[in-house]
Amino acid sequence: MYNYAVISILWGRFVVAKIPAHIFREYDIRGLAEEELTSENVELIALAYGTWLVRSGVTKAALGGDVRLSTSRIKAALAKGLLAAGVDVVDLGVTSTPTFYWSFFRCDADGGIQVTGSHNPKEFNGLKVAFKKATLWGDAIQNIYRMIEADDFAVAKIPGKFSSLDITDEYINMLASKVQLGNRKLKIVCDYGNGAGGCYGPKLFRKLGCEVVDLFAEPDGNFPNHHPDPTKRGNLLSLMEAVTREGADAGFGYDGDADRLGVVDDKGNMLVGDRLMALYWREILAKNPGAVAICEVKSSMALPEDVEKHGGKPLWWCAGHSLIKAKMAEQNALFSGEVSGHLFFADEYFGYDDAFYAAERLCRILSNSDRKLSDIMEEIPQYPATAETRYDCPDDKKRGVVDKFKEQALAENLNVITVDGARIIYKNGWGLVRISNTQPVLVARCEGRTKEALADICADMKRRLLNAGSPAFEWEF
């Protein structure tokens, strides 16, 4: 579906915009940079968002962006649209997404847009849209599109004012002030993947007193060494090799906008986000016994088991960083995260996902222990599991498949967690299916206490999915 809108812009020309509806996603606005996030489309998005801000009583917005080749152009188009709506724009320059989040506190801005393609291929880019220290999601994102459809804009008689502010050093100093390391001096390796993280990490970890080996720290939107997605093992091979070669205590990998963290232990093993969360929860629960631990529905059963073992109260919740942050606010939760490496600390931090802060917290745990990270992680089980298997299923069909799957499981009186799709609890493991909020795919995953249990669960889950009308698929491992 496309909307064709013709609007009169303050600077005296007409813009004909052709905006695809599908770029307005559940958590952000995202698409092909040169085909879908054209300057005309982006100006129109900014004008609609700026109009909404002004009507909401907000007249100041921060504007940041990662190092992708299209980011500067998109930022310039956003500034035009926001200024035309009467919104003052504070340009933060090149920023990580966490730095952009911190600007809400530093710049006293109740609106803002971060231009970032995050972990997606380099031909993509996106807009993370904010309001009052939180990012918009769901219907709030769709409302911007509805305003464009309805030509519901307000061009201000007096345009907003433009200013620039570099808060990079202030942000690094703020991070360094949040964590004090113990007596054990650490050696770490950091792989920035040529993303925005290279603007921060080299200074930060040396300021903390670590011995640091930096990989691919020079920002480069071509990402010449590997794609900046630390959730994929193939993107961590250089980090794994460097950690073992250097005899480092840990390795940290960052995505393009430094809000996701990947971790490698001292033996070069990749640590997945749910097992990492169990480790963080041990430190938090020691100070906050009985705390509610929000667990993403895709997480290993090792996470709630370890949380309960250390006195916490697991609470299953939906996947998606905006949904988890909203639930954290509702529950006054101290910490949560996603398998994908988004980690939200609200016990001693601001509650948003910041890969550098998460890395600092792990450094603090290690610097106060005489044990190696690999030894500590041996206490947290790593059960046999599939990968997060994503396979094609049309948007007009995927919800029906999951609903039928869920109905059949409940009709059999099975133990099913239904907060996000359906997670069947088996005697020796679990199986999950849920719809993707961002793509025409189904997402499935299984875990068993043994390889034999996993095989049985995979077979039963696949049978149930096919009976519910799912397209054929194969499990990924």
pLDDT recorded at residue 17:
53
User: Does the active-site annotation cover 118?
Assistant: yes
Which DSSP letter does residue 153 get?
A: -
Q: Which residues pair with 16 in a beta bridge?
A: 6
Please report, for residues 57, 324, 350, 363, the alpha-carbon distance to residue 358 in angstroms, rounded to integers and kept in the order given.
34, 17, 12, 9
Question: Residue 392 is which amino acid?
Answer: D
Q: Per the residue annotation, which of 70, 118, 299, 340 is the catalytic one?
A: 118
Distances (CA, A) of 470 to 350, 359, 399, 442, 463: 41, 39, 10, 9, 10
Q: What pTM, to 2 d.p., does this model score?
A: 0.93
pLDDT of residue 6: 37
- Grouping H, G, I as helix, E, B as strand and the rest as coil, residue 48 is helix
Could you list the mean pLDDT of each consecutive 10-residue stretch along the chain, which spans 477 residues?
39 57 92 96 97 97 97 98 98 97 92 93 95 93 95 94 97 97 98 97 97 97 95 95 98 97 97 95 98 97 98 95 91 96 97 97 98 97 95 94 98 97 98 89 97 98 98 96
pLDDT of residue 120: 85
Query: Which token pair is 337?
Result: 């995260």
Distance from C-alpha of 214 to C-alpha of 201, rounded to nearest angstrom:
8
Rounded distance, CA 354 to CA 175, Å? 10
What single-letter amino acid sits at 440?
Answer: P
Q: How far apart are CA 190 and CA 243, in angstroms?
A: 9
Residue 205 near residue 188, CB atoms below 8 Å: yes
Q: Which three-class secondary structure state does DSSP give residue 51?
A: helix
Largest CA distance in the chain: 70
For residue 148, give every residue at least 6 positions away whose Cβ sits within 8 Å of its Cβ, in sequence order, or none.
3, 5, 17, 19, 44, 45, 48
Query: What letter would DSSP give residue 205?
Result: H
Q: How many CB atoms lie within 10 A of CB 328?
A: 19
Q: How confident is the model at residue 378, as a pLDDT? A: 96
Pairing between strand 60-65 and 29-32?
unpaired
Gap between the Cα atoms of 454 and 428, Å rounded: 8
In the chain, the amino acid numbered 159 is P
Give residue for tokens 């990012």.
135
Sorted by sequence, the CB contacts under 8 Å of residue 457 that are 6+ apart come out as 426, 428, 429, 430, 431, 446, 447, 448
Q: Distance (Å, rounded) from C-alpha 54 to C-alpha 404?
A: 44
Q: Nearest to residue 257, comparing CAs of 173, 198, 205?
A: 198
d(CA 152, CA 45): 11
Phi, psi (degrees; rounded to nearest 5) at 11: -85, 15
CA distance 118 to 370: 35
In sign, the C-alpha dihedral spanning 40, 45, 48, 53 is: negative
Radius of gyration of the chain (CA): 23
What's residue 141's pLDDT? 96
Could you tell me the two tokens for 80?
Answer: 């035009």
What DSSP letter does each residue of 53-114 carry, written as one string? HHHTT--EEEEEE-S-TTHHHHHHHHHHHHHHTT-EEEEEEE--HHHHHHHHHHS--SEEEE
Are 415 and 406 within 8 A, CB to CB? Answer: no
* Among candidate residues 202, 236, 239, 196, the one with its CA nearest the CA of residue 220: 196
User: Which 3 state secondary structure label does DSSP give 470?
Assistant: coil
Q: Indicate the length of the chain as a whole number.
A: 477
